[in-house]
Structure 1
Amino acid sequence: MLTVVLIILLTLSYCHAKNHACGLHNDQQYGLFADCKGRQLQHIPYDLPCNITALDISENILTSLSNGIFQKFPNLTYLNLNSNSLSQIESGVFRGLFNLTVLLLARNKLDDSFPDDIFHDLKNLHTLNLEKNGMTSYPDRVFPPLINLHSLYLDSIPEPVLGSGFSKLANLKVLQIDSRFAYGGDCSIEKLKNTTFQSLNETRLEVLIMNHCNVKYCETGVLKHLMFLKHLELCNNGIGIQKSLHLLYPFVGRNMSRIWFDGSFTFPTQHKGDIDDHVITSESTKYLTQICVSELSLRQNGIYLIETGSVNKDPFRGCIEVLDVSKNIIVGDVGFFVILAAFSRLKYFDISYQRQVYDVPSRELLASPAAVALPQNLVYFDATGVLMGAANTVFDITFYNTDNLKTFLCGYNHVEIKRVHGLEHVDHVDVLGNDFGAISYDFFQSFSNVRKLSMKNCNLQNAKDTLTNPDIFRDLKEIEHLDLSSNALRIFPVIPNPGKLIELNLSHNVFDTIPLEYGSYTSLALLDMSFNIIGELSKDTRSSLEVAAERNSKMKIKVQGNIFSCGCENLDFILWLMVTTVIYESDRNFPCIQDNGTTTGTVDVARNYQSIHRYCTGKLSLSLTVTFMTVFVTSIVMTYVVSKNPTRYRNIVMKMMGFGVQYLTPKEFEYTFYVGYCEADIPFVYQKLRPALELCNSSARLFLKDREVLPGVVIADGIICGFTNSWKSVLVISDDFLEDRSQWSQFTIDAALYSMTDLIPNRIIVLLVGAVQMEDLPESLLNVVEEECILRVDDYQDGDETLWKELRKTAGI
């Protein structure tokens, strides 16, 4: 009987636990955590365990909290009430929560209606968030019990005044009046006065964050009461960079960890003061340079000039570790960059994305070798998008003091980089957007230890000959992440140590298959082949991928952006695409083109596989039937025709088989070669071609119209006579030949074509001289001349006998 009762009690207990409105789990930081977030709750759940230490009931529809509602949870250390509709809280709502350290009340409707003793028992509270509550003033009267409060996040109001109650927050370290990132919206502060933070003079506030404010009025002494401040963020406000820098006078001779004045410029520039706000001078930094600050950010301020002497001063110069002046329009003073090496502790330097084009003094100056001395402790250097005006400039540049440099970014400078020295210890190199069309074999020697390399959009398609060399990447033995996207590549260079490669991006190129030997890439986790021209993958390729995936279960391939072929011959590929684990995309509905030219999706093809397969099978049977009938009917017709003219067709067959055909030889002609050329190519013919063919051991007799046609003979008759008496003809064709306005060049081509006969195979041989390409030749000539009989002179070294040996071999002598 007792056993039955125990079973019933356990069953009821299990069912009761399954009906909890909230989830329970053990959190590494907060212990037994009750997760009631976003469950449309109107009240605190009654059935939560009493021993929970954390409760998240945010994003529900609570409107009020009554006295003692949390008293049954005395062990709570974390309580999240964010994003409800709370408009009323009774004075004893947090009674008994002596252990509470984090209380989040942001994004409610509490305005400033807080009972005086609401925080009476929260003497251990560490963090309090009251942002986005529609406050019109701060309820400082409720703060005195919070003697251990460390971090306070407040709603912003147009004219903030921190009342006397704030002076009781003796341990307050962090004050944030900025809710943009966590909760959306901007800071609404419009005025900052000298008395705004007066009540904080008895606290030890170290961090003040007021970002994204629309400050229209700011008094100079607003920060003078914050004598222990170390971390200051006043970003994206209307104060102006000059005024912001002048707010720092209370901190002269002090140490600070961070000063951020991002986006503090005034816009538009209507007055002289607004224009001055874009120049950093010694007057601007007279307080800043007297502060030992570790991190300074002046990004996105429209700065176009930083005077050399404005920052080259101690203690600033000897203390700064992080300097960010990115997203400005800096065009000078170049001396600012020269003195960077003097910043002995600088580890992070970002000068990327200067939006204005540089005034480049001369191409020759930038094309000459350059040297840049970096700070000796620099770890991160970002110069992306800096030299926008130096397009097509060749750089041979050497960096010094790079033993500690790990990240080097200089993409989108639109320059042709020839060689970089001094980056042997760098882990991450990003040179995307520059021109590497003339890349050399030894370029990567300076990146011998790079692990992450991005060469996106670098015109590598113009370096086809270099990329085909198996040694082009021989120095990249440590490479793990490689980005070669957007380069119109058709071939993939050899990686010296493919087993180390983890990520390879070949997207936005023109690959028609996957150009890897998959078995060697044992660590490859992601191969991006998206937006290429892959129509399908062969059966052997798919099999190799599956075998490689069995050995390396992490390997995935992106193929989105390719337009596949889903015709009858590729149905197996479409089915494989749907089920394989190698493909990265979860949505496998890729566009594909059917045999009739219409576009559909791979999901539809897979879904209708049976009907499409039946259609394809029937189509094949019909094709075979039609082919058989065509052959049958043709055979009957041919039999009938041959039976009417047996002698004629017997002779044709004999001629096709070579019987009874007597080919003409050079001995039967007065000249071996007729040489056709234009006047501009006479030096090539007489100085190179004639000595190589006539003045040698096995000489050939040449017909040269300027030499053989006698005075008084009509030129046309002489040319025709030359072709008739020559065994074969050599046409020397250049751009001048094709553009010859005298029409003799065209006459020469026509005469050569008329001289064609079956008794002399390959009677016309073409020599291409200069920049002329095969496709530039007249269509009439291309239709009769075999491609093997067209030789490019530039493919052979000057003075090399190989060209003339190849010409003789082609002619058959």
Structure 2
Amino acid sequence: MKKTKHVGFALRDLMIFLLLCNCVLLTEGFSVKKCYIYKDRADCSKQKLTNIPTDIPLSVKSIDLSQNRFTSIQVLNFTNFPNLTTLDLKRNFILNIGKRTFSQLPSLSVLILNTNKIVHLEDYVFDGLPKLTQLLLGFNRIQTVAPNTFRSLSSLKILELSKNQLQTIELFHAALQHMPQLKNLQIRNNRIKTFISKDLTNTSINITYLDLSENPLEKFVVTDAVFPKLSRLNLGRPTAKLHLTWAVQSQTVLENVTILELSEVRLASGDEWKRLFSSFNSLIFLKLNSMKYKLTSLMNMSCSMPTVSKLQLQSNKLTFISSSFFQKCHNVTDIDLEDNKITHIENGSFNILKLLEVLSIKRNRLQTVPFATRNLYSLRKLDLSFNLIRTLECQDFAKLTNLVQLNLQWNSLTALNKCSFNTLSKLEVLKLQGNSMTKLGGAFTKNLPSLKVLLLNNNKLTAIGKHEFRGLFSLLNLSLFENQIETLHESCFHGLKNLTFLQLQKNNLRKEALSNNCLRKLVKLTRLDLSNNHFKYWSSKNLTVPPFMNLSNLETLLFGVQRSKGKGVFPANFLQGLTKLSTFICNNIQLLSFPNDSFTYTPHLTNLDISANDLLDISPKLFSPIPKLEHLRINSINLHSLEFLINSNLTKLNELEARKNAFSVVSKDVIRSLPSLSVLDLKYNKFTCDCDNSWFVQWIKNNSQTEVVDAYNFTCSYPPESMNQKLLHLNTQSCILDVGFFCFISTAFTNILILVVTFTYHFSRFHLIYAYYIFLAWLFDSKNRQKRVEDQYDAFVSYNTHDEAWVYRELVPHLEKEQGWRLCLHHRDFLPGKPIVENIADAIYGSRKTICVISQRYLQSEWCSKEMQLASFRLFDERKDVLILVFLENIPSAHLSPYYRMKKILKKRTYLSWPRRSEQHLLFWEKLRQALGSTNTAEEDRLLLTVTQLT
């Protein structure tokens, strides 16, 4: 009973286990048509969409739908995005926006509708946007704005309506009442001719920036102090070539304006200009670009304003700066002369500018550093970029001891010398890129203790000599990319003890350049770019001098796109020393293999790109040392399978990019091995469209954790009839095993089996036991028949222990002592230590006859049954009369037939019954003697010696 109970529990537990195995939670994934999802952003731009996608995850915070083909949008397009804060719809063909289109976006704060074809803004269009702070409607065709268009935008701070067809500001009179938080109003490039403050508002508003530039503005009138917080006003670049009428009631109306742009503005006379400037008493920054009026006069008037400190004078076609040009600019600290045609600046032109801190003469035609700049003692920033300067004199910057930034990029410098910057002890940023320098001339060996950024890229340097940067012990960023550098002296970077960023890409460096351990002093380096050079290694053996041995703080190493011909390998200890490396890019370096221990030295690697190599296959062991990997790119390496990922232990991998490879199947085990995967990019692969990919297809369609980039464009390469069809069109129904049906069938079969076993055991257990014993008897009979030996005993006596008294009291004395037979008795003659079954078999086959002393207890004994069955096999199968049955008591036939062939034996073979009356005992012993003495085959010797009737 207990055993049956245990079996039931075991079966129950097994079924539960099987069901759980079929319910294992896998890494979930998804794919959105025509969109790319990254974290909480959906990018659906440039997809030629005509309808808003309906499969964008509802949890995103930003949706980019720009550069598509939408013509209208309705409220149903944007529902159930409770977290959406930014919606970008620029560069579409939107003509109509339905009422309350965005009312289901309660968290929206930025709405971009630039560059569409909107003509009318109707009432209630932007209802339901209480948190909107930026609304961009520029570059449309808007002509009218309804009074209640902006009625719910109580939080709006920036409203842009530039490049439309608005003709009057009266359109905003009612709208402004609904936008109390509005700070920035841009109405640039419309058709507004007149700006009168009372047309916009009769009450004070909070606008701080008003842009009316690029309008055909003819009149600017402010009669009331409605702009108390206005700090920036742009009236520049008017599209009408007419004189502007300026009418501002008093200085207090625009008293807080600090930035004013008047580029290209025309006034009728100098007096008009004076009246305009007199309207501002807090002006700081004045932009006078591309002016048509006398610039010198404007300079005198503007510099007469004591608060003006910053002047922008771009694109005024100046060729010469005279000594009187800035004569009234005592208080100016910042001058921008960019994009003129200046070839000469008269000496002393800047002498009056004692407070000048920032000077830009960018994009002019200077061939030397102006002498006029030498005495600007307060100068902190000097920009001479994009000129024609060929040489630097020792005195050019000698007195600019307060200079912090110096920009000389994209000139025609060919060389430097030791005195070029030797007095600039405060210089922090020096830009020299884009020149033609071949030598540094010792310019950086000393005297630049504060320099932090040095840009020398895009020159013609071929070598970096000994101690070239020794004086730059504060340098953090050194850019040497896109030169022609072939040689790095072993001490070239000595002194750069604080350098964190070094760019050496796009040079002619080979492996020999790093073999001298020239990087060993850069102990604080965190980012190193060696890409686009000629590095190539031909052996994977350990390098004698690993190039990055001392760079224990390096976090990013860029080593991709090496241009040497031929295939290479990766030295096993190439990355030795990079214990903090987190990003390693080595794409397109023509690698044939990676040693499995390549990343042993980089346990903190999180970003790895080994794309565009000839690896063909990757060992899982390669990734064993880098379990923290989060981003892996394996594009274009001719991979035939992704199965290596299964045992790579990349449990933290977040992004996998495997474009342009040769695999065609993605298995369940691959996906399950990447539990943290959020982005899977398999673009430009060809897939097998059969049941091998059925699980992958279902996974793409039905999951929500991992984005499968552009999955809707995956195409088939096999079978031939499916060529170029879409993978997601695969009919997976014929491939899917119905788990529910399988569980039903399994459960039903198990229940039926349990019932059959239970009923069989209950009703036929004795038949089964009987059959089992018959089988054992046959087995032993077959075994002993092969090795027949001479009889040791006349008879083997089979009896039950309860009948042992009769055997020893009656049977043994009469047969052994009186008649002289040799009997085999199991208590006396069985060999100790030998299995009992073998003892029984040996006794039966070693005896001429077997005497079975039968009683009720005998029939119930398991061992007695074995003895009788084995003897009966000799009787029936050897055709020998070896069995003598002695009944000690009357046994009904019904008790014999269910278990034994006893009835058959009784009818055909010798049997005797122990008589109850003592006078018959002598006859019994005589007949037993005759039975023992009879032959095994003679039919005539067969005796029926019973007095019991069997029916």
Same fold (TM over 0.5): yes
What are the equivalent positions in structure 2 for 1:134-533 lying under 5 Å apart? 140-141=273-274, 142-157=276-291, 160-161=295-296, 162-177=298-313, 187=315, 189-194=317-322, 197-198=325-326, 201-206=329-334, 208-215=335-342, 218-219=345-346, 221-235=348-362, 237-240=363-366, 242-244=367-369, 246-251=371-376, 253-256=377-380, 258-265=381-388, 277-278=389-390, 280-283=391-394, 286-287=396-397, 290-311=400-421, 313-314=422-423, 316=424, 318-333=425-440, 335-336=442-443, 339=445, 343-354=448-459, 366=487, 369-385=490-506, 387-388=507-508, 395-399=515-519, 402-416=522-536, 419-434=547-562, 437=568, 439-459=570-590, 461-462=591-592, 464=593, 467-470=594-597, 472-490=598-616, 491=618, 494-495=622-623, 498=626, 500-514=628-642, 516=645, 520-521=649-650, 523-533=652-662
Separation in 1, partners of 2:508, 2:651? 40
1:108 to 1:426, Cα distance in 2 relative to 1, 3 A = farther
Residues 287 and 440 (structure 1), Cα distance of their counterparts in 2 relative to 1, 3 Å cut: same
Aligned to 2:112: none
Distance 2:525 2:498 in 1: 7
State the 1:595 CA deviation.
Answer: 3.2
**Aligned CA distance change for structure 1 residues 216 and 32 (closer, same or farther; 3 Å):** same
**1:500–1:571 Cα change, 3 Å:** closer
Is the alpha carbon distance of 1:288 and 1:53 closer, same or farther for their aligned partners in structure 2, counting shifts above 3 Å? farther
Letter of the structure 2 residue corresponding to residue 593 of structure 1: S
Larger Rg: 2
From the superposition, tell whether residues 214 and 177 of structure 1 become closer, same or farther in structure 2 (CA, over 3 Å). same
Are the counterparts in 1 of residues 687 and 718 from structure 2 also a CA contact under 8 Å? no
Within 1, Cα distance between the matches of 2:370 and 2:689?
64
Higher relative contact order (CA 8 A, sep 6+): 2
Q: Residues of 2 paired with 1:74 and 1:22: CA distance? A: 26
Structure 1 pair 248–113 and aligned structure 2 pair: CA distance change class (3 A): same
In the TM superposition, what is the alpha-carbon distance from 1:100 to its structure 2 partner?
Answer: 0.9
**CA 595–446 in structure 1, closer or farther in 2 if over 3 Å, else same:** same
Aligned mates of 2:268, 2:579 — CA distance in 1? 60
Matched, 1:128 2:254: no
**Conserved in 2, the CA contact under 8 Å of 1:70 and 1:97?**
no
Closer/same/farther in 2, CA of residues 560 and 586 from structure 1, 3 Å limit: closer
8 Å CA contact 2:217–2:240 kept in 1: the answer is yes
SS of the aligned residue for 1:66 comes to strand
Q: In 2, Cα distance between the equivalents of 1:594 and 1:132?
A: 66
DSSP-derived class of the 1:103 partner:
strand
Q: Distance in 2 between matches of 1:529 and 1:328?
A: 40
Distance 1:173 1:578, change over 3 A: farther
Q: Cα–Cα, structure 1 residues 530 and 170, in superposed 2: closer, same or farther, change >3 Å?
A: farther
2:220 maps to 90
Q: Do the aligned partners of residues 117 and 177 (structure 1) sit closer, same or farther apart at CA in structure 2, a change above 3 Å counting? A: same
- For 2:127 and 2:168, locate their aligned partners in 1 and report how far apart those are by CA, in whole Å: 11
| 1: CA distance, partners of 2:288 / 2:660 | 48
Deviation at 1:367, TM superposition (A): 8.5
2:673 maps to 1:559: no
Gaps of 5+ in 2: 1-99, 104-120, 135-153, 467-483, 538-545, 736-951
Once the two structures are TM-superposed, the CA of residue 264 in structure 1 deviates from its matched residue by 1.9
Q: Which amino acid aligns with 1:170?
A: P
Offset from partner CA, 1:166-200 (integer Å, 9 cap, x none)? 1244333443345xxxxxxxx46342422685166
The question of whether the paired residues in 2 share the 8 Å contact of 1:259 and 1:297 is answered with yes
For residues 144 and 228 of structure 1, the distance between their equivalents in structure 2, rounded to whole angstroms, comes to 24
- Summarize the Cα distance change of 1:502–1:400 in structure 2 as closer, same or farther, 3 Å threshold: same
Cα deviations by residue, 1:259-316 (Å, 9 ceiling, x for unpaired): 3333223xxxxxxxxxxx43x4434x533564332222322324332223323x12x1
- Structure 1 counterpart of 2:899: none
Name the SS of the counterpart of 1:296 in structure 2. Answer: strand
Of the three residues 575, 589, 614, the one matched with 2:713 is 589
Aligned with 1:600: secondary structure? Answer: coil
Distance 1:104 1:331, change over 3 A: same
Q: Is the 8 A contact 2:501 2:527 kept in 1?
A: yes
Aligned-residue CA RMSD in angstroms? 4.6
For each residue in 1:389-423, what CA deviation from the matched residue of structure 2 results, as whole angstroms up to 9, or x when unmatched?
Answer: 76875533334664554333343333458613543
Displacement of 1:124 = 0.6
Superposed CA offset, 1:422-480 (max 9, x none): 43223333333447946433332343223333333334x14x2xx2323x222223333
Q: Contact between 1:166 and 1:199, CA under 8 Å: does it hold in 2?
A: no
- Unaligned 5+ segments in structure 1 are 1-10, 179-186, 266-276, 550-554, 616-813
Structure 2 distance, partners of 1:299, 1:37, is 38
Provide the C-alpha distance between the structure 1 equivalents of 2:419 and 2:448, rounded to a whole number of angstroms: 13
Counterpart Cα distance in 2 of 1:578 and 1:222: 72
Residues 281/46 of structure 1: CA separation in 2 closer, same or farther (3 Å cut):
closer
From the superposition, tell whether residues 335 and 86 of structure 1 become closer, same or farther in structure 2 (CA, over 3 Å): same
Aligned twin of 2:146: none
Please give the secondary structure, in 2, of the residue aligned with 1:488: coil
8 Å contact 1:112–1:137 — kept in the other structure? no
Count of matched residue pairs: 554
